[in-house]
Structure 1
Amino acid sequence: MARIARLTYYPVKSCAGIDVPAAEVTRTGLPNDRVFQVITPDSEILTQRPHPVLATVRPRVLGDRLALSAPGREDLVVGIRRDGPRRPVSMAGWDGEGVRQDPRADEWFSDLLGRAAELIGLTPDHHRVTGGETPGAAAFPDGHALLVASESSLDTLNERIAAGQGEPVPMDRFRPNIVIAGWAEPHREDDARELTVGTARIGYAEQCVRCQVPMIDQETGARAGPEPIRTLATYRRSPQGGVVFGMKAAVLRPGQVAVGDEVIVHSWAGPSPSTAAAEPPFTATASRPAESV
């Protein structure tokens, strides 16, 4: 029987996640998931891809306050601005706006990254429609409301990495929102089309094409490649380019979820062509950056 093994949300895009025992699934995913992001004064989005140190930032939403901490940095707590001065945002085919947060947060991130940075949050009128096989809504992830992965997928990957004399990787390298346990076969999440998780219902949008973020140690913020991308390239190549791990989903019906809740799949698709072994050579850094960092 498939069950939820882990629930994680990421308050600030590209920063560390927070595991929770239970949560309410909204139209845009888990509450407070990627509702803030760091940008440049020119509205360029700053992520782990060029700035892996962001992985070490531990954000917490405390009611109307946002707490930020990172190794070697003084902790900061600021009030959350629900509205105010805005900055344009453009990502994954969506153009919108974000609300400028406290200037002290801008200074904190600028000092961490060694470049001018600003922290923005969702506007009260935030509206972003996502595509894929099942359309939906989202906050500031690269793609969709939820990223789903299974323990069996990670187990199979780590077995292959070990066979190549590499070091296994933890699930946090892939930054999922929902981790599913209990499927005997790996990558069953790719074939699930409509699922009930807890009392929520979600629908498959697309496979998650991975960039170089899984090669970053999420505890230290250090680049630790070439795994797992090197091994994924041997058997998880997408026909559209890059490698895939996990699936992105839209929320069809909001509801409650908790670790231990049963996962019921109402409809399945056939096997994905990306599960076939890839013969051509693959360059790890060339994968399309489409994951929810």
Structure 2
Amino acid sequence: MARVVELSYYPVKGCAGISAREALLTPAGLAHDRSFMVVSEEGVYRTQRRDPRLAVIRPAITADGERLTLSAPGTEALHLRVDTSGARQKVDLFGTAYQGIDQGDAAAAWLSEVLRAPSRLVRVPPEHDRVTDGLTPGTSGYADSCALHVISRSTLDLLNRKLAERGTRPLPMDRFRPNLVLDGWDEPHTEDRARHIRIGDTELGYAKLAIRCAVTLVEQESGAKAGPEPLRTLAGYRRASEGGVAFGAKFAVLRPGRMSVGDDAVVTSWGESEL
């Protein structure tokens, strides 16, 4: 039996996460997860792949989602009243067009200064109807794909053992920016085979493996790229058939509700790993 040991959500895509003891799970993932996105002046999403300094921006959002605070080292914090009714504009996420609500010139100026590049902040509109792919379809805000990213501690432990064999220091879980961290599975990558998971009064459906990118090279505290790991080591034992390397799994929400750290993660259906 596995249990939830960490819950994290990321109000602004690419920026620092918020740890929680309990959280509301909505059809689009943990409440407020990736509900905002930083974009260029042309509306193209910003990501740590190209803008690693996103990692040093620390959001805080009220439970009702009406107020957002952004802070970063050496900069006065920005406090915003969230606009959910303003004019919609086109935004680009991985080449797909969506809608966003611009959060104003003060947010744009603050982000442009911190990121040292012209930027604006948009919020996903209430009518956002994105459909995500994978074995279990679902929806999400501005996440890369599916609503929830799940990793087990044994999965990270295996990677860190392999890094140690190379003489490389272990990596913290935040390099992989999961929403849920599970503990209690002795076998690494058990999350790859879990097809339906019940946590508290919620239920999750497996969508696909999480294919990793250059964001995992960014040290999340400093916002600096930190070398070839973990991608170099993962390439030796976690290559995916469609390309890239897999680490963790993506899930869609089958039943919303509340979940908490300490909840059991009961797998009600198993399958074979896609790797």
Q: Which residue of 1 aligns with 2:4?
A: 4
User: Structure 2 regions of 5+ residues with no counterpart?
Assistant: none
What residue identity is the alignment partner of 2:136?
T
Q: Which residue of 2 aligns with 1:28?
A: 28
CA RMSD of aligned residues (A): 1.1
8 A contact 1:7–1:21 mirrored in 2: yes
Distance in 1 (alpha carbons) for counterparts of 2:41 and 2:75: 22
SS at match of 1:44: coil
Q: Which residue of 2 aligns with 1:195?
A: 197
Q: Percent identity?
A: 47
Q: Which residue of 2 aligns with 1:19?
A: 19
- Of the three residues 132, 140, 143, the one matched with 1:138 is 140
2:155 equivalent to 1:153: yes
Q: Which residue of 2 aligns with 1:230?
A: 232
Q: Which residue of 2 aligns with 1:288?
A: none
8 A contact 1:78–1:102 mirrored in 2: no
Query: How far off is 1:124 after superposition?
Result: 2.0
Trace 1:20-59 onto structure 2 (pairs within 5 A): 20-59=20-59
8 A contact 2:3–2:183 mirrored in 1: yes
Distance in 1 (alpha carbons) for counterparts of 2:227 and 2:38: 24
Q: Which residue of 2 aligns with 1:86?
A: 88
Query: How far off is 1:73 after superposition?
Result: 1.1
8 A contact 1:7–1:20 mirrored in 2: yes
Distance in 2 (alpha carbons) for counterparts of 1:81 and 1:115: 23
Distance in 2 (alpha carbons) for counterparts of 1:43 and 1:138: 19
What residue identity is the alignment partner of 2:147?
A
1:238-275 Cα offsets, whole Å, 9 max, x none, are: 01000010111100011110000000111111244x3x
Query: How far off is 1:197 after superposition?
Result: 1.3
SS at match of 1:130: coil
Distance in 2 (alpha carbons) for counterparts of 1:41 and 1:212: 23
Query: How far off is 1:102 after superposition?
Result: 2.5
SS at match of 2:75: coil
SS at match of 1:161: helix
Spell out structure 1 runs of 4+ moving beyond 4 A.
none
Name whichever of 232-241 and 81-90 sits farther off: 81-90
Q: Which residue of 2 aligns with 1:120?
A: 122
Distance in 1 (alpha carbons) for counterparts of 2:44 and 2:273: 38
User: Structure 1 regions of 5+ residues with no counterpart?
Assistant: 275-293
Distance in 1 (alpha carbons) for counterparts of 2:70 and 2:166: 39
Distance in 1 (alpha carbons) for counterparts of 2:126 and 2:210: 28
Query: How far off is 1:209 after superposition?
Result: 0.5
Query: How far off is 1:92 after superposition?
Result: 4.6
Q: Which residue of 2 aligns with 1:212?
A: 214
Length, aligned pairs only? 273
TM-score, normalised to structure 1, is 0.91
SS at match of 2:169: coil
- Of the three residues 245, 269, 273, the one matched with 2:247 is 245
Distance in 1 (alpha carbons) for counterparts of 2:95 and 2:2: 34
SS at match of 2:254: strand
Q: Which residue of 2 aligns with 1:267?
A: 269
8 A contact 1:92–1:143 mirrored in 2: no
What residue identity is the alignment partner of 2:161?
E
